[in-house]
């Protein structure tokens, strides 16, 4: 070893650099820890959650797409031919490709190649779970960066402890992924506004493209960004405009308008041929989407006008009350700050002073609070329109929840601040005792939400918050108890004990592909044969939703009895009735 080499400063190893980064900024690691713990929870509970209708369709689509990816690896030239693309990508082309492609790739890697997951379904579901991890990570980062580390943690906890979110986070569907991408896109845009520079702008374009490729909610994001950009950059824009020079549009917006659609097209092979007609078809499908049946306050809605009260009532009934209380506290605080900024701005513009605020609030060049409120407003806004279908329950405005959680985090900051103040006035706490007190307040706040979320599984869509009476309270109010027929798997113990191999079962609202997967993965007795009508079945089930009473009564007609052999309940509320064909001599 030469003397020169020993004198040279030693390059830090990767681990050392990582340690240094964590010391400097532990937030990504904290957020990552929360996300990893949650994904582990999802994986641990995935086996006991049955398959929803839509999952069945996406499993099938992903299996098809997987064939294409395999072809792409083996014979790329052949895979890029129209005759190879169209038959495969025609499957489920009403939704973009990103998540179904990830489901397929996950299956290829984690099931077929590495054999990490025993169930095919878990391999398909895993990307959706990771998306929930991403949503939690970004929510934490946003909260930590915008308000405080404590607010970030509470925001992530608030989001994770929503029973409906916990349910959807298990699924190989698009609702949690779009929530994650919506939040990520807004976060990256916010960072671009704060940090500036080309890399954040390009990141905006990339993430927006992926968001477009996740679900059609992404097309609403300009309604968040444009008003926000106008407020932040409006002054500069008008100054340039008045000079007649080029208007300085933020580079993040330019990137989203250019890179975003390019990625949308690039990642969706279905659009590579007949591009414009197929985009038109995609748009038409969602603009003219069917209205499905959904019960609300004892009435089944199946078309417009949708009740304006649906969204607020369902939020109150399904989001843990403590989360909403903290959100309200945080929202009032931030609205007050927004209003104060507006008054200060008006005061400067009008050249007159106002009595309030006495002290001008700190400037925020990125207008974070405005962005958060826009993110909530744009996600919830369509649901005050009577033409908006409501059949998806809370999942259709799930994109608002991370931002509601952010403000809940801010609310917790204020609550803890008051409690800490009161404690300090009465006692002296050292750092560790203070931390314990803070944790205790957190546990007191979220113990109920945690218990409700744990207990909701695997009946997440039947669950209502304790303040409206829980599952039974939801039933009393005439609120929807489930959809998509995913609860069939919860019959497994009864079916194991009460059926024989070869018996036929009419599985009602469960999609055929979901049923096949339940059988394949032995989640229900594999000897059962599924059939499409009670007339063909020894056993028939009905998933209890108000409009599905029709099926219930049809079974009564067919079996000539209204007596179920078994009723699956959650907290005493019927979820599924099982009927067995009576073996009696026919005739009245």
Partner 1 sequence: MKKDLLAYALAAVPLVGIIELVLHVKETTSDVVPGSDWDAARDAVKAELKPDDLVLFAPFWADPVGREHFGEPLAGLKREARPDETRFARTFEVSIRGAHRPELAGWRKASERSVGKVTIGVYENPAPVKLHQDLVDLVTPERMTVWKTDGASESPCPFQRTTGQAGGLGVPQGPAIPGDRFVCSGGAYVGVGVLHALDHQPHLCVFVSPQGAGSMKVRFGNVAFGSSLHGHSGVQWVNERTPSQERISLAFSAFDRPLGTNVHRVGAGWTGFELPTPDLVGRTGDLVAEITGAAPREYCFEADTRDVP
Stretch that binds partner 1, among 138-146, 201-209, 216-224, 551-559 (CB under 8 A): 551-559
By the rule CB under 8 A, 457 interacts with partner 1: no
By the rule CB under 8 A, 435 interacts with partner 1: no
By the rule CB under 8 A, 494 interacts with partner 1: no
3-state secondary structure of 533: coil
> Which residue has 């390019």 as its token pair?
262
Pairing of β 573-580 and β 529-531? unpaired
Least distance (Å) between residue 165 CB and partner 1: 17
By the rule CB under 8 A, 550 interacts with partner 1: yes
By the rule CB under 8 A, 410 interacts with partner 1: no
Distance CA 326, CA 337 (A): 17
Distances (CA, A) of 205 to 187, 189, 208, 376: 13, 9, 5, 21
| Residues of span 153-182 touching partner 1 by CB under 8 A | none
Question: Can you read off the two tokens belonging to residue 15?
Answer: 């681990």
By the rule CB under 8 A, 356 interacts with partner 1: no
Least distance (Å) between residue 361 CB and partner 1: 18
Least distance (Å) between residue 529 CB and partner 1: 14
By the rule CB under 8 A, 358 interacts with partner 1: no
Least distance (Å) between residue 435 CB and partner 1: 16
Distance of CA 494 to the CA centre of its chain: 32
By the rule CB under 8 A, 566 interacts with partner 1: yes
By the rule CB under 8 A, 574 interacts with partner 1: yes
Nearest CA among 258, 234, 237 for reference residue 248? 237
By the rule CB under 8 A, 408 interacts with partner 1: no
Distance of CA 437 to the CA centre of its chain: 32
Distance CA 230, CA 296 (A): 38
Least distance (Å) between residue 314 CB and partner 1: 18
Judged by beta carbon, residue 232 or residue 329, the one nearer partner 1 is: 329
Least distance (Å) between residue 85 CB and partner 1: 30
Name which position in 414, 429, 437, 516 contacts partner 1 (CB under 8 A): 414
Stretch that binds partner 1, among 99-107, 151-159, 389-397, 507-515 (CB under 8 A): 507-515
Name which position in 319, 326, 404, 461 contacts partner 1 (CB under 8 A): 326
Name which position in 86, 120, 476, 521 contacts partner 1 (CB under 8 A): 476
Name which position in 135, 192, 465, 524 contacts partner 1 (CB under 8 A): 465
By the rule CB under 8 A, 466 interacts with partner 1: yes
3-state secondary structure of 353: coil
Q: What is the DSSP string of 135-149?
A: HHHHHHHHHHHHT-H
Stretch that binds partner 1, among 111-119, 128-136, 144-152, 541-549 (CB under 8 A): 541-549
Distances (CA, A) of 10 to 4, 7, 16, 463, 560: 12, 9, 11, 58, 84
Distance CA 419, CA 360 (A): 26
Total residues contacting partner 1 by CB under 8 A comes to 77
CA atoms within 13 A on the CB side of 465: 21
Distance CA 118, CA 125 (A): 12
By the rule CB under 8 A, 32 interacts with partner 1: no
Stretch that binds partner 1, among 142-150, 171-179, 489-497, 564-572 (CB under 8 A): 564-572
Least distance (Å) between residue 124 CB and partner 1: 22
Name which position in 322, 400, 461, 491 contacts partner 1 (CB under 8 A): 322
Distance CA 305, CA 389 (A): 9
By the rule CB under 8 A, 451 interacts with partner 1: yes
Contacts 24+ apart (CB under 8 A), 444-447: 445/322, 445/326, 445/412, 445/415, 446/157, 446/158, 446/161, 446/320, 446/322
| Residues of span 511-540 touching partner 1 by CB under 8 A | 511-512, 532-535
Distance of CA 506 to the CA centre of its chain: 31
By the rule CB under 8 A, 329 interacts with partner 1: yes
Name which position in 469, 498, 516, 519 contacts partner 1 (CB under 8 A): 469
By the rule CB under 8 A, 504 interacts with partner 1: no
Using left for φ > 0, alpha for ψ between -120 and 50, and beta otherwise, residue 297 falls in: left
Least distance (Å) between residue 487 CB and partner 1: 14
Judge whether 294 and 246 are in contact, CB under 8 Å.
Answer: no
Question: Can you read off the two tokens belonging to residue 443?
Answer: 């546990």
Least distance (Å) between residue 574 CB and partner 1: 4
Judge whether 505 and 537 are in contact, CB under 8 Å.
Answer: yes
Name which position in 507, 524, 528, 580 contacts partner 1 (CB under 8 A): 507
By the rule CB under 8 A, 586 interacts with partner 1: yes
| Residues of span 272-301 touching partner 1 by CB under 8 A | 293, 300
């Amino acid at each position: 070893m030469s003397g020169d080499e020993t004198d040279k400063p030693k390059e830090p190893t990767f681990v050392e650099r990582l340690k240094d980064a964590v010391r400097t900024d532990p937030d990504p690691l904290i957020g990552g820890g929360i996300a990893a713990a949650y994904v582990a929870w999802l994986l641990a509970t995935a086996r006991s959650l049955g398959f929803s209708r839509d999952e069945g369709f996406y499993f099938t689509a992903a299996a098809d797409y997987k064939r294409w990816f395999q072809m792409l690896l083996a014979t790329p030239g052949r895979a890029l031919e129209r005759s190879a693309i169209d038959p495969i990508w025609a499957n489920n082309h009403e939704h973009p490709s990103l998540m179904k492609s990830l489901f397929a790739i996950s299956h290829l890697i984690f099931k077929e190649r590495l054999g990490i997951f025993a169930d095919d379904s878990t391999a398909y579901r895993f990307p959706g779970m990771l998306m929930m991890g991403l949503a939690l990570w970004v929510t934490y980062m946003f909260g930590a960066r915008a308000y405080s580390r404590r607010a970030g943690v509470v925001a992530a906890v608030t989001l994770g402890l929503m029973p409906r979110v916990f349910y959807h986070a298990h699924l190989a569907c698009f609702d949690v992924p779009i929530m994650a991408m919506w939040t990520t896109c807004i976060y990256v845009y916010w960072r671009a506004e704060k940090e500036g520079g080309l890399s954040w702008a390009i990141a905006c374009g990339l993430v927006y493209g992926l968001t477009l490729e996740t679900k059609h909610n992404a097309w609403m994001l300009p309604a968040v960004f444009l008003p926000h950009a106008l407020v932040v950059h409006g002054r500069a824009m008008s100054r340039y405009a008045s000079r007649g020079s080029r208007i300085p549009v933020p580079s993040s917006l330019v990137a989203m308008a250019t890179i975003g659609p390019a990625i949308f097209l690039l990642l969706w092979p279905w659009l590579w041929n007949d591009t414009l007609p197929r985009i038109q078809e995609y748009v038409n499908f969602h603009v003219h989407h069917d209205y499905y049946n959904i019960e609300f306050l004892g009435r089944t809605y199946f078309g417009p006008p949708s009740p304006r009260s649906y969204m607020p009532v369902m939020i109150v009934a399904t989001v843990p009350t403590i989360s909403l209380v903290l959100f309200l506290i945080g929202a009032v605080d931030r609205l007050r700050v927004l209003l104060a900024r507006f008054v200060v701005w008006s005061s400067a513009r009008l050249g007159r002073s106002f009595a309030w605020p006495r002290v001008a609030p700190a400037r925020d060049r990125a207008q974070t609070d405005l962005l958060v409120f826009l993110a909530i407003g744009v996600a919830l806004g369509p649901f005050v329109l009577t033409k908006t279908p409501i059949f998806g329950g809370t999942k259709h405005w799930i994109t608002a929840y991370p931002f509601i959680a952010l403000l809940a985090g801010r609310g917790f900051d204020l609550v803890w601040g008051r409690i800490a103040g009161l404690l300090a006035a009465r006692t002296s706490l050292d750092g560790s005792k203070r931390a314990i007190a803070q944790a205790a307040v957190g546990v007191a706040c979220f113990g109920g939400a945690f218990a409700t979320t744990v207990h909701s599984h695997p009946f997440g869509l039947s669950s209502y918050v304790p303040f409206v009476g829980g599952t039974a309270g939801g039933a009393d109010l005439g609120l929807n108890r489930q959809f998509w027929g995913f609860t069939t798997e919860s019959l497994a113990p009864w079916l194991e004990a009460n059926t024989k191999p070869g018996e036929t079962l009419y599985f009602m609202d469960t999609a055929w592909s979901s049923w096949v997967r339940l059988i394949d993965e032995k989640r229900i007795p594999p000897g059962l044969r599924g059939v499409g009508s009670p007339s063909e079945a020894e056993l028939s089930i009905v998933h209890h939703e108000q409009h599905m009473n029709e099926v219930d009564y049809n079974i009564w007609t067919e079996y000539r009895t209204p007596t179920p052999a078994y009723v699956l309940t959650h907290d005493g509320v019927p979820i599924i009735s099982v009927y067995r064909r009576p073996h009696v001599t026919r005739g009245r």
